[in-house]
């Protein structure tokens, strides 16, 4: 796993108790995707909905919305008015041009802001798992995405190199919204180097919840969850945020 992908994984584990969906927002992961970890990154190889259409998926989206506002240690957020003067807030600048600058003093730094994050998941996970257990072509290493955290019009900036800078230019009103995690309206941006990944104003999957079949018991192990439910599904209470073992490949 690359350093920046590992940093993102740790952020999602800490903030949402979920695995990181890499690349954030721009990936092709969806509910029912299955695959394995390679290089510490989840790689989908198929989807239950397409490959096993006989298995019904009870998919629901939680009405509760979360928000997320995270910046890595050593990351500075600076606000400037149209004259390039440092200001404490965009609130008094109205619709005048302004800029929002992020300075990353450490490598593999993350800024993740989302005013709205929704959770969509498979409610009948145990039923799906038992159905998969009857499939002769199902591989032990496969993990199933039974939950997706989707960020709506979010801001994601990932900087690989220390000393990177990222600047957003827009009206102060728009920048105030962006700083709060909701990207609407026109803006432009510049980056100090090519080692910065960004997803600005887009909506997509930022985190995933996974389960895998437990072949010994006939039940399933659920990853990236923090509670025990009925129906004999086993949840992990601790994702081991700093455990290298948790990031090993499925081979």
The C-alpha atoms of residue 168 and residue 25 are separated, in whole angstroms, by: 19
For residue range 177-191, list pLDDT tens digits in order. Answer: 999 988 887 899 989
Closest CA to 152 of 121, 176, 184, 196: 184
Residue stretches of the chain with pLDDT short of 50? 224-241, 251
Chain CA centroid to CA 50, Å:
24
Closest CA to 39 of 3, 8, 68: 3
3-class secondary-structure state, position 209: strand
3-class secondary-structure state, position 124: coil
Contact, 142 vs 199, CB < 8 A?
Answer: no
pTM of the complete model: 0.84
Contact, 213 vs 130, CB < 8 A?
Answer: no
Q: Output the pLDDT for position 195.
A: 74
Q: Output the pLDDT for position 140.
A: 78
Backbone angles phi, psi at 246, to 5 degrees: -65, -20
Q: Output the pLDDT for position 37.
A: 87
Q: How far is CA 38 from CA 5, 10, 67, 180, 240, in A?
A: 12, 16, 29, 34, 18
For residue range 131-140, list pLDDT tens digits in order. Answer: 888 888 888 7
For residue 211, the cross-strand partners are 144, 222
């Amino acid at each position: 796993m690359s350093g920046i992908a590992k940093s993102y994984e740790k952020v999602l584990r800490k903030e949402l108790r979920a695995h990181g969906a890499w690349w954030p927002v721009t990936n092709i992961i969806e509910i029912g995707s299955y695959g394995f970890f390679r290089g510490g990154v989840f790689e989908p190889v198929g989807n239950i909905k397409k490959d096993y259409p006989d298995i019904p998926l009870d998919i629901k989206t939680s009405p509760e919305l979360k928000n997320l506002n995270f910046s890595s240690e050593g990351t500075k957020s600076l606000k400037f008015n149209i004259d390039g003067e440092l200001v404490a807030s965009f609130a008094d600048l109205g619709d005048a041009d302004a800029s929002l600058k992020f300075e990353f003093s450490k490598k593999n730094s993350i800024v993740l802001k989302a005013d709205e994050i929704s959770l969509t998941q498979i409610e009948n996970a145990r039923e799906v798992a038992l159905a998969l257990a009857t499939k002769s072509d199902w591989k032990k290493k496969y993990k199933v995405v039974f939950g997706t955290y989707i960020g709506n019009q979010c801001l994601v900036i990932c900087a690989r190199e220390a000393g990177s800078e990222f600047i957003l230019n827009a009206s102060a009103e728009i920048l105030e919204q962006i700083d709060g995690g909701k990207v609407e309206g026109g803006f432009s941006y510049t980056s100090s180097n090519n080692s910065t990944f960004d997803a600005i104003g887009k909506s997509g999957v930022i985190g995933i919840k996974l389960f895998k079949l437990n072949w010994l018991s006939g039940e399933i192990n659920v990853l990236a969850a923090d509670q025990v439910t009925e129906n004999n599904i086993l949840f992990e209470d601790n994702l081991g945020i700093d455990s290298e073992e948790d990031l090993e490949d499925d081979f």
